[in-house]
Chains A and B, each alone.
Chain A
Amino acid sequence: MAGHTQPINPLPGVSAAVLVAALILGTLFMVALRAEAGGGFGPADWSALRFTLLQATLSALLSAGLAIPVARALARRRFPGRRALIALLGAPFILPVIVAILGLLHVFGRAGWVSEALGILGLPPIQIYGLHGVVLAHVFFNLPLATRLILQGWQEIPAERFRLAAQLGCEGLAMFRLIELPMLRRILPGVLAVIFAICLTSFAVALTLGGGPRATTIELAIYQAFTYDFDLGRAALLSALQLVLTATAALAALRFSQGEGFGTGLNRAIRRWDGGTPVLDAFWIIAAAAFLLLPLASVTISGIAGLFEMPALVFRAAVISIFVAAASTVVLLLLALPMATAIATGRYGIVELGGLLGLAASPLVIGTGLFILIRPLANPTTLALPVTALVNAIMALPFALRILVPAARDTLERHGRLALSLNMNNWSFFLRVMLPRLRPQIGFSAGLTAALSMGDLGVIALFADAQIATLPLQIYRLMGAYQMQAAAGGALLLLILSMGVFWILDRGGRWHVEA
């Protein structure tokens, strides 16, 4: 770290973290406050806890583990369509759950493409339902995110380091140990923690792919407590358990992800001199692309017919969704940038913990807590869209931090001393050094947030009324009204819009920036 003084005022970042933590814990508190006679933990809850931990751990390990060779292959190969492929790989992450489930099962289900292909060969269909199905679905959702984060780690290694290693004759395993392993040590714990936290709150995916009540997660128990049992005390207790689990994972990740940055580099385009094995790299890229893109292809195919059957209302919902996504993105950046720079000083790891809590918070708890909070002051329904935008931003915060923090840390390490010796004030350093240096990461995280917000049903279902609906809500409504084909069209529209905003923002961040 650059000595004791730093050109960053951590106060805004710490304040943002406090705000986020207050919102998450405050809503939980509001729910707990309304609890009547509450039930404690039963044996069913313990088995739900066991299953939740098991599937989240497996999903995180497998997603991150598979992402390493894929990211490595993408980092060192150049081929036509590489950028488009990387952008497309982000798509599963932003699909509404129900659409993703249908897409996945279209490929891997009992009547899916894979089973059909096996049938032609005279083999029985694959059995997708079970723990392996849950993990498969979670890898489908999270592999792209893990790949992007790790790929970013690779791209942040200064070209000079590869040059030096190449000069030393390092190849393959030696290159991996010398340069790549330290980078992975730094990046992986955070990636694992984020995916673990996402999978902790899985509900519909775990249940559907898990094949039955064996695949009960804590989030399902929370839902049940909220709706069928109206046991707010139990809901708050279970939600607190989720928060504790996520906080534990986050603290472990913070502890293990400490490591040195890569020092100074001069923005040279990355070029690598180690050959690697092109065949193996090609295998990883093709396998990952097939695994992630086939379900998207099925979503596209089943959506095309529906695109022309959609009522105009769906387009109205699409416009509303775009506004919500834009607002979420603005809120996200206002929170994430100060937080990332505060974390980069190395002294406020706790800020990152505050950010990660957003993932663990059950949307139901946040939504209900906000509902209780807002109701005495205003009609919650009129605030449906701002609240949705805010909650979506908080849900996206952990991802944005994972993206922004390493680059913010490097920027501070590389340029903090010089800025101090020039007597740059905190604001100038932020505006003139931090922001320009972080532009690719800002673009990436803004794109991710916008897309995520676009596809997330979020809390809108708790607040919405007849007149206002986001695109995901409208898709659910279509399905609820038997209109599966129009819903498929809506899903395709959503996919196109989400990918569109993601591509524009991510590309915008990288414009004229070589890396």
Chain B
Amino acid sequence: MLKLDDCTISSGDFLLRADLEIEAGSSIAIIGPSGAGKSTLLETIAGFRDLKGGQIFWKGKNLTTLPPGKRPLAMLFQDGNLFPHLSAAQNVALGLRPNGGLSQDEHQHVQSALVRVGLPDLGARKPAELSGGQQSRVALARILVQKRQVLLLDEPFAALGPALKAEMLDLVASLVAESGTTLLMVSHDPQDALRITRQTVLVADQIAHPPVSTAQLFENPPPALRDYLG
């Protein structure tokens, strides 16, 4: 269980409170108006921002003061998910060994992750030589080898076409289902949320609300969400 215990995030005029719990293994969409703090919430959970108050627990363990890399979670950003000077395979390998070389087995592991995301032959290419969809697949292959218990997606597929984005989301859904990973994904599009998540955290009016059923939320949206959906 991921627990945000009376958390306060603030910087300048910005303020967001979160006091909620998320079941391990669940898939959660984070939805809300632009600027409400969806990305900020993920960055805070990932450890890129300090809390003003409150604490974050994963399965009873206090994460609040851990540096990002020591937290049991992986994150994909809106952009910059790959190092441009490294090949696809080298980028994936970083998920396995961020600080050293790979053993023979681990090379195998990287290769099978590339195969799993549908890029068996493109390991030697640099990101600039890959299409947008292929770049996303490399990033997902790295997530795969990272084997973290929580996956945070900050709209990494926003730049992709609808069909491609749906394809990526399905790939994510199948990957998290295989491994039992807990998924938190920011989304602008209710269709994305409905596609792979059951529950939704609404971020609006300076509060990250506890998760509710995605389907129910859209059937009977609260005023803040109604304004956003238009």
Contacts and interface: CB of A to CB of B under 8 A. Distances in A.
Nearest to A2: B48
B32 interface: no
Contacts of A415: 80, 83
A9 to B, nearest CB: 12
Contacts of B83: 415, 418, 433
Interface string A420-434: 111111011000110
A467 interface: no
Contacts of A422: 69, 94-95, 98, 146
B74 A421 contact: yes
Contacts of A418: 77, 80-83
B72 to A, nearest CB: 11
A266 interface: yes
Most buried by A among B48, B49, B94, B98: B98
A424 B85 contact: no
A415 B85 CA distance: 11
A437 B74 contact: no
A267 B98 contact: no
Interface string B74-89: 1101011111111000
B68 interface: yes
Interface string A427-457: 1100011001100000000000000000000
B67 A267 contact: no
B37 interface: no
B128 A266 contact: yes
Contact of B98 (A2, A264, A268, A423): A423
A81 interface: no
Interface string B41-58: 001001111100000000
Contacts of B70: 423
Given A3-B43, A264-B80, A267-B84, A421 B128 contact: no
B80 A417 contact: yes
Contacts of A268: 128
Contacts of B127: 266-267
B85 A437 contact: yes
B98 A414 contact: no
A417 B85 contact: no
B220 interface: no
Given A3-B49, A421-B74, A427-B99, A264 B79 contact: yes
Contact of A420 (B69, B84, B86, B100): B69
A80 B22 CA distance: 62
A4 interface: yes
Report the contact-size class of chain B (Cβ under 8 Å from the partner). Answer: 20 to 34
Report the contact-size class of chain A (Cβ under 8 Å from the partner). Answer: 20 to 34
B99 A5 contact: no
Contacts of A423: 68-70, 98
A424 B96 CA distance: 10
B54 to A, nearest CB: 16
Contact of B69 (A3, A264, A421): A421
A266 B84 contact: yes
A59 to B, nearest CB: 38
Interface string A265-276: 011100000000
Interface string B108-148: 00000000000000000011100000000000000000100
Nearest to B99: A428
A264 B50 CA distance: 24
A417 B126 CA distance: 20
Nearest to A427: B99
B79 A267 contact: no
A4 B85 contact: no
Given A266-B127, A267-B85, A417-B77, A424 B47 contact: no
A427 B70 CA distance: 16
A5 B67 contact: yes
A420 B47 CA distance: 9
20 contacts: A2-B48, A3-B49, A4-B48, A4-B50, A5-B48, A264-B79, A266-B128, A267-B85, A267-B126, A267-B127, A417-B77, A418-B77, A418-B83, A420-B48, A420-B67, A421-B75, A422-B98, A424-B99, A432-B86, A432-B94
Interface of A: 2-5, 264, 266-268, 414-415, 417-425, 427-428, 432-433, 436-437
Ranked 9 nearest A-B pairs via Cβ: A423-B69, A3-B48, A424-B98, A428-B99, A420-B68, A422-B98, A267-B84, A436-B85, A264-B80
Given A415-B83, A421-B68, A421-B69, 14 more contacts: A3-B43, A3-B48, A5-B67, A266-B84, A267-B127, A414-B80, A418-B81, A419-B98, A421-B74, A424-B94, A424-B99, A427-B99, A436-B85, A436-B86
